[in-house]
A and B are shown apart, each in its own frame.
Chain A
Amino acid sequence: GAGVSQSPRYKVAKRGQDVALRCDPISGHVSLFWYQQALGQGPEFLTYFQNEAQLDKSGLPSDRFFAERPEGSVSTLKIQRTQQEDSAVYLCASSLDSTTPMYNEQFFGPGTRLTVL
C-alpha cells in the first residue's frame, strides 16, 4: 500500500512569509508525528497527534508554529512569518495505535525541505 506522503517536497520562502506543509499518513494509522531535521543533525520532535487530538506540542519552537489534524487523517504544519532558522527538512511519521505492538514502528514520509531566504 501507499506510504506516508508529504507535499510539497521542496519549498522556498522569503523571510516573513507563511508556509503550510502537508502530511498524508498511511491509511488507518492513528498516531502522527512531526519532526524537524536541521542539516547534519538528527530529527527533533515537534508535535504528536492521536487521531485529531494534539497530545503533545512541546517540541514546537515558537508560537509561529502550528499543527492541525482536523479529521484525524491528513495533517498540516503551518509556520507563520518564517525566519532563516526555520530552514530544515520537516518529516512526518505515522504509526498504528499505541496499544498495538506495531506502534513501535514509525513510518516516515520523504520530508519537505524548507529553505527560507
Chain B
Amino acid sequence: AQKITQTQPGMFVQEKEAVTLDCTYDTSDPSYGLFWYKQPSSGEMIFLIYQGSYDQQNATEGRYSLNFQKARKSANLVISASQLGDSAMYFCAMREDRDDKIIFGKGTRLHILP
C-alpha cells in the first residue's frame, strides 16, 4: 500500500511568492517521522526538514516550515519567499520508528518563475 501521497506532479510559482507542497501519509504506527527532501537537476538529495509524530510544534528551518496536521495525516511543506534556486523536485518521506527505512513519495516538481 502506498504510504506517501504527493498529488501535485508539477507546480509553477512566481518568484518571491510562498508555495505549499502537499503531502499525505498513511501509517498504523503511532510513532513516526516525516521528512522533506529537495532534489535539484544535478541529482543530489538534500535534506530540508524533519517532523516527529510527537512533536508539539510544527518544524521550521529558515524559509522552510512543515504544516503538520496529525489528524488529517498531512505534512505539507511551506516555502516562504520563493527563490529561483528553489526550482527542483521535492520529495515527502516517512519513517516508522519501528523501522529504519524511509519511504518516499513520487515527488513534486517545482518551477519558480522570474
Contacts and interface: CB of A to CB of B under 8 A. Distances in A.
Interface of A: 31, 33, 35, 41-45, 48, 50, 55-56, 58-59, 89, 91, 93, 98, 104-111, 113
Interface of B: 4, 33, 35, 37, 42-47, 50, 52, 91, 93, 99-107
A105 B106 contact: no
Nearest to A3: B44
A89 to B, nearest CB: 7
B33 to A, nearest CB: 6
Contacts of A50: 100
Chain A, interface SS category: strand
A60 B67 CA distance: 33
Contacts of A105: 47, 50
16 contacts: A42-B91, A42-B93, A42-B105, A43-B45, A43-B91, A45-B101, A48-B100, A59-B101, A105-B47, A105-B50, A106-B102, A108-B46, A109-B44, A110-B42, A111-B43, A113-B43
